[in-house]
Structures are given as C-alpha cells and as structure tokens.
A = this chain, B = another copy of it.
C-alpha cells in the first residue's frame, strides 16, 4: 500500500464527515415529526426542481424502481400533495405539486434549514460562502460515471 500523504488523510476525513452527514440525514428523516418520509421529500424536491417531470424521470434520478416511484406517487396523490397535469400530451404523465404539496415541501425545507443554520451559528459570512462554494464544487464534480463500482464487478447490470 502506498504511503498515506496529508492529502490522503484529508480525503479520508472528508469521507468520514460525509458519512456522518448522510447517516444523520437518514436518522433525522426517519424520526423527524414530518408527514413526509425521506423518499417522499426527495420526490417532491425533484418535482420542484424539474417541473412537469414524469414518474420514470424520478425513478432514474434516484435510481429507484419504477414500481417504487409509482407507489410512492400514488400515496402522495392520495395525500393531495402531488397531481398529474391534466392537459398532458406525449409520453407519460407530467407531475406537479398542489398548493398543499408546496406547503409541505417548504415546511420540510424550513425545518432542515434551521438545523443547518444552527450548525453555522458561529461561522463568519465569508466562511459560509466558501463552504457553500466548496460543497457545490464537490457535488458538481459528480457529473457521471462515478457510481461506486465493485472492483470485481466488471459487467455492471445497471446504468
């Protein structure tokens, strides 16, 4: 094994912290007193970011089975937060949020924002800006082809 450089140590620290963030996010989503599950929130967020998207788009984005998204959407429709756009044309059925859906989405985001803000409590403005820039850069680097791939799996079945 190659000697670990300082950069390696820092990269390892980054992974460690990202794991913490993910785990905490999952635990929060599971136990937060919200009516929407994490998957539900993801779906709402995707519809917000991609107006008139279809079920299959959501499935691809989160790499979920079509059936899973179908069922989740059925639940969300029953809840009255999502609906199909009526005058649809072409393949599939474009989706949109209802007013209730927007309210639920904002509620969830606001809740999370307060958590983030609390973490940033004693940060200077320029530090916050820098952190935002770094995070965005980090995520944008994930264009594609960066799915975790098992070394011994040379013929991936997905994507």
Contact = CB atoms under 8 A, between A and B. Distances in A.
The A interface is mostly helix, strand or loop, or mixed, namely helix
Contact of A109 (B15, B22, B139): B15
A131 B14 contact: yes
A112 B147 CA distance: 9
A138 B120 contact: yes
A90 interface: no
Contacts of A19: 25, 45, 112
Contacts of A122: 141
Given A10-B129, A26-B22, A34 B150 contact: yes
Q: Kindly report how many copies of this chain are found in the complex they form together.
A: 2
B112 A14 contact: no
A15 B12 CA distance: 22
A25 B23 CA distance: 9
Interface string A129-145: 11110111111011000
Listed from nearest, the 8 A-B pairs whose CB atoms lie closest are A22-B25, A33-B150, A17-B135, A13-B132, A10-B132, A119-B141, A32-B148, A15-B116
Contact of A7 (B125, B150, B151): B125
B6 A129 contact: yes
Given A7-B129, A15-B109, 14 more contacts: A7-B125, A11-B120, A12-B113, A13-B135, A14-B120, A17-B139, A22-B22, A23-B42, A28-B148, A32-B150, A33-B156, A34-B150, A119-B141, A119-B142
